[in-house]
Chain A
Amino acid sequence: MTVTTITDAELVPKDYASDQEVRWCPGCGDYAILKAVQKALAELGAPRERTVFVSGIGCAARFPYYLSTYGFHTIHGRAPAIATGIKLANPELDVWVVTGDGDGLSIGGNHMLHVLRRNVDLQIILFNNEIYGLTKGQYSPTSRRGTRSPSTPQGSVEYPVSACAFALGAGARFVARAVDTQQPDVVALLKRAHAHRGASFVEVFQNCVVFNDGVFDHFTAKDVAPDTQLHVEHGKPLVFGPSEERGLRLTPGTLALEVVPVGDAGVPLHDILVHDETNRALAQLLVALEPPAFPVALGVLYCNPATSYERELYAQARAAGFGREPADLGALLGREGTWTVER
């Protein structure tokens, strides 16, 4: 007699695709991110029934329709609030928030601030294309000064917000950054974000082929990437360049980073800063690096876990009696100051 154990078939990326036709513009960076998310889910073996994607409004926000998990396409900027409610109702669910630079940092900036500060256990992916795509190309809060758009024909005069600096400032305990086309990195970061208990914030630089094409080319194009991207790794020196011949160190005498040559002709490797992802001050320096003087820092810039909001909340509630034997409603109503009228 043989015993057969039936296990769930292993899921592959296409198992996480819904039956809906994907309707982003051909060549949109969102396609690459969708593939990376499906791959990450497959590698995590994420149960579809316990996975929820929540989005706001914008091109990125169509994301849930293209996944075979549970999905909630909400309203502009409010996905973090609804995701918080889902997590409060059922902390066992694996909840992801998909947002954009306009959705997450403009109309929904307040919710983003507070969901990060509270440390609700969510994975938040912010697609940053520095433009409003769905509304036809207006400048966004991450657009650089001078961005010409239908609403800024002479160029924007606003200073942009840095998504990761905002997240750190809000108190996020997991902050990471990737480029849409670098799929293995995106997959790896999403898996790290998933492993992090608490709010994890992942910014993905995403190219909008229609309204802002090539806006990240100065550090994402193949020919310049090695010289303009710094891939950080915990415990490893902060070096970059085609043969890792440049590195970052603290400028002696001040709190600033500088790029120095590494090795025989330059600074010895042991003088180069080593990435410590638990160091918030270092993370703040890293997120501020910009070309041309500096490379763009990518990878897990900051990870310093603490108990998540909903766990703390439930611990308090349980201490107050939540989840034990159902409390007697009659006892609650007649708790104090009652009197009896006799027949």
Chain B
Amino acid sequence: MQVTGSRFTVETALAGNDLTTFPDFPAEIRAPAGTTYGVSAFQIQFGAGDIMTPGDAVDVLVAMNPAALKVDLKDLRLGGSILVDTGAFSERNLTKAGFPANPLEDGSLAPYQVLTFDITRLTTEAVKAFGLSTREAHRCRNMWALGLMLWMYGRDRQVTIDWLRRKFADRPELAQANVAALNAGHAFGETAEMSEQLVGYTVPSAPAPPGRYRTVSGTEALAWGLIAGMRGAGLEKMIFAGYPITPASLLLHTLANLKAHGVITFQAEDEIAAIGAAIGAAYAGALGVTSSSGPGMALKTEMLGLAIATELPIVVVDSQRAGPSTGMPTKAEQSDLFQAVHGRNADAPLAVIAAATAVDCFDVAIEAVRIATTYMTPVIVLSDAYLAHAAEPWRLPDAAALPRFPVRFRTDPAGFHPLLRDPATLARAWAVPGTPGLEHRIGGLEKDYDTGHISYDPDNHARMTRARAAKIAGIANDIPPQRVALGDDDGAVAVVGWGSTYGAIHRAVREARADGLDVSHIHLRYLNPFPRNLGELLQRFGRILVPELNTGQLVHLLRAAYLVPAEGLSKVAGKPFKVAEIVDAIESVHRSKPR
């Protein structure tokens, strides 16, 4: 189903629609077919307008079996369409899904338009010329359904046909069968006898600024952004070290195929070794990057402390997922914010930034490399399970116009010691092994501010602690002041968000403003340090609403930093916010008495 969704996404993007997707699948690799916990879903919203979320309520639900209907019917709007494969609505599958009676017959779907086709039989007939096993033939059902959907929305099929031929290059009969199923589904739409039920839709192209576009997932954008960052820093290579963990592994897989761009990937023996290799690489003058999700981030904690103590530039990408512990590995959450900002022993500050959309991952990755190399510090990039998979159209940037921030390795031995600081940034000198005359020793033991040698001196430790804090705090002077994403820069209500909730908050604020409410959207990329004007900006609003996919972490940080009466809106369901949930909260804040 994920493949079917991805192909529909590509064809939709090529048709010039704006779109946002939400792949939602179980952690089990091949969960038993027909069970509710094995349902793999792919949600896409597309249109001619500005699409910012995968959509609250679904207009068309394609249910390939009773379990999918059971799980996803609640997301269908009243009056929406359901396409079902009657061939999959067997007694056995109905029982597995927990339907006491067949919902196609008991009238329970009356509020919806139900379109029933025996997709299983139609697919089997379409592919019977190719001599597939029954099982293989049944697996072509998704392509039949995709063909029908492509017809419904007037999409082309050629790119998918080419893709199928590449994918099954060594099993031509499978390629032919899948293409036949795709074509059969499409032809069915054109000629079906039940055509009074089937209506073809035309979705015009979204008005978009001129340029070259493609769809991009958050993971792809991150990978390419890291490469662009490496180039911006003038570094020769990136050592990317990771350990398999859902949903972060995708980044390792993506970069493993980009070696021509100066990337060496290393699958380490564990999360600790992965960040260790990134630190070693940074020490030796490369861009060191590691990536993980919450549980793996916990394992990397001690190494982050070492990178802070030795002041080495690494980028750590955290694709957050629902926790604690193993939690729900494929479901998104924003609950690692505290861990990223505060989760280390001792006073151990580092920079934390977050990506708002799949496209934003590109710029955020470049910015992470810039901050890391300019300030000689680890930078944590917060992404999440939703952003890792979600895709949207992206206007390709001009590669020649990307940011440049070349690093200057120390080469001059005169007066050198490893803690020599740049007076402006407080960054220490980056002196790389291989440089004659700069041989030095670094490590996790406290070092003397003026010589870099081991020091247990009490005043020196206080001075070093302050220097480490001042260096990170100073980044606030080197990042853009916080802007208002939508609305006025003062007023009754500010909705303050961070990370992948951007689209839902933005739409909600837009809707509320259209209804005449005084509300603005502020979205934070920089979470540590905060932009220098943030406190002053927040003070200009009567109420501050902070929607988060956690139990209230940013709201806590904002209150602590600025003593503002920020109020949280929490969702911890493993799913993104719906626009309506945020609109309701905005209305509720407006209705209630001001403080």
A residues at B contact (CB < 8 Å): 18, 20, 47-50, 52, 54, 57, 64-65, 67-75, 78, 80-90, 92-93, 110-111, 113-114, 313-314, 316-317, 320-324, 326-330, 332-334, 336-343
Contact = CB atoms under 8 A, between A and B. Distances in A.
B245 interface: no
28 contacts: A52-B284, A57-B444, A71-B440, A73-B444, A81-B276, A84-B276, A85-B282, A85-B288, A86-B284, A88-B264, A88-B286, A90-B286, A90-B432, A93-B284, A111-B269, A113-B269, A317-B263, A321-B259, A323-B262, A324-B260, A326-B261, A329-B261, A333-B399, A334-B214, A334-B396, A337-B13, A339-B13, A339-B14
A114 B274 CA distance: 12
Nearest to B211: A341
A291 to B, nearest CB: 35
A333 B433 contact: no
Contacts of A84: 266, 268, 273, 276-277, 280
Which of B241, B274, B433 counts the most A-chain CB atoms under 10 A from its CB? B433
A89 B270 contact: no
Interface range, B side: 35 or more
Nearest to B310: A72
Contacts, number: 219
Contacts of A81: 268-269, 272-274, 276-277, 280
B433 A49 contact: yes
A327 B16 contact: no
A74 B444 contact: yes
- Most B CB contacts (10 A, CB to CB) among A48, A57, A83, A337 go to A337
Nearest to A317: B259
A71 B283 CA distance: 10
A50 B262 contact: no
A330 B210 CA distance: 17
A339 B213 contact: yes
A110 B272 CA distance: 10
B226 to A, nearest CB: 11
Interface string B345-364: 00000000000000000000
A78 B303 contact: yes
For the complex of A and B, list the 4 residue pairs with the smallest distance between their C-beta atoms, beginning with the closest. A85-B280, A73-B443, A321-B260, A81-B276
Contacts of B434: 49-50, 90, 92-93
B499 interface: no
B560 to A, nearest CB: 30
Nearest to B213: A339
Contacts of A82: 276-277, 279-280, 283
Contact of A88 (B210, B280, B397): B280
A78 B273 CA distance: 7
Contacts of B212: 334, 338-340
Q: Which interface residue of B259, B274, B454 has the most chain A CB atoms within 10 A?
A: B259
Given A81-B280, A88-B266, A317-B264, A341 B210 contact: yes
A110 to B, nearest CB: 6
A343 to B, nearest CB: 5
The main secondary structure of chain A at its interface with chain B is mixed
Nearest to B302: A75
B433 A342 contact: no
B433 A50 contact: yes
Nearest to B402: A329
Nearest to B399: A330
Nearest to A321: B260
Contacts of B211: 340-341
B289 to A, nearest CB: 11
Nearest to B441: A71
Contact of B213 (A48, A57, A313, A338): A338
Contact of A49 (B239, B273, B302, B435): B435
A89 B432 CA distance: 11
Contacts of B288: 85, 89
B231 A52 contact: no
A75 B306 contact: yes
B453 interface: yes
A330 B396 contact: yes
A322 B442 contact: no
Contacts of B264: 88, 313-314, 317, 322
Contacts of B305: 75
Nearest to A114: B269
Contact of A89 (B159, B268, B280, B400): B280
| Residue with the greatest number of chain B CB neighbours at <10 A, chosen from A20, A65, A332, A343 | A332
Interface of B: 10, 13-14, 16, 159, 205, 208-215, 224, 227-228, 231, 237, 239, 241, 258-264, 266, 268-270, 272-274, 276-286, 288, 302-303, 305-306, 310, 395-400, 402, 432-445, 453-454
A169 B490 CA distance: 67
B210 A320 contact: no
Given A68-B439, A70-B440, A329-B261, A90 B276 contact: no
A73 B283 CA distance: 12
A208 to B, nearest CB: 21
A113 B268 CA distance: 12
Contacts of A333: 214, 224, 396-397, 399
B457 to A, nearest CB: 15
A73 B442 contact: yes
A312 to B, nearest CB: 12
A342 B205 CA distance: 12
Contacts of B228: 329
A49 B303 contact: no
A85 B281 contact: yes
A71 B276 CA distance: 15
Given A49-B438, A92-B434, A85 B284 contact: yes
A71 B310 CA distance: 12
A75 B261 contact: no
A80 B286 CA distance: 18
Nearest to B227: A329
Nearest to B431: A70
A111 B273 contact: yes
Contacts of B272: 78, 81, 111
B56 to A, nearest CB: 28
Contacts of A86: 280-281, 283-284, 433
A327 B442 CA distance: 35
Contact of B285 (A90, A113, A334): A90
B208 A341 contact: yes
A327 B260 contact: yes
Contacts of B286: 88-90
A21 B138 CA distance: 75
Contacts of B273: 78, 80-81, 84, 110-111, 114
Residue of B10, B205, B260, B262 with highest tally of chain A CB at under 10 A: B260
Given A49-B437, A78-B272, A89 B237 contact: yes
A65 B454 contact: yes
Contacts of B402: 329
A227 to B, nearest CB: 41
Contacts of A341: 16, 205, 208-211, 213, 395
A54 B279 CA distance: 12
A17 B256 CA distance: 41
B439 A49 contact: yes
Contacts of B279: 74, 82, 85
B453 A20 contact: yes
A74 B303 CA distance: 9
A155 to B, nearest CB: 32
Contacts of A89: 237, 239, 280-286, 288
